[in-house]
Amino acid sequence: MRITLFKVLQSIKIHDDQADAVVGRLESHVESVMNNNIKAVEAKLSAMQTELAALRMQIGFVGTMLGIIGLALAAVPIVAKFIR
């Protein structure tokens, strides 16, 4: 892209040093925008990872509770035999 833009600027009679400066500034701007976008995506990814960890913990808790409830229900007939 740099060479193409530089040649276009030359074709409209922009001096080489000015064309090089324009291309350099454009590259800096594009790099800055890309870095900002990458940082935003990284922040969103980090937030999603945190939410995923919380969901995993909640699912683990629900699984544990279901296991306890299942054991309690299975124990009811056994305990009922001892009470009679």
Instruction: Tell me 84's DSSP state.
Output: -
Question: For the chain, where are the alpha helices, taking DSSP H only?
Answer: 2-11, 16-83
- For 69, the domain range is 2-83
* Total domain count, the chain: 1
Q: Which two tokens stand for residue 82?
A: 């001892």
Its pTM stands at: 0.61
Residues 6 or more apart in contact with residue 9 via CB below 8 angstroms: 18, 19, 22, 23
- Residues 16-74: tens digit of each pLDDT: 888 889 889 999 999 999 999 999 999 999 999 999 999 999 999 999 999 999 999 99
Amino acid identity, position 76: V
CA distance 20 to 9: 9
Q: Assess contact for 19 and 10: CB atoms under 8 A.
A: yes
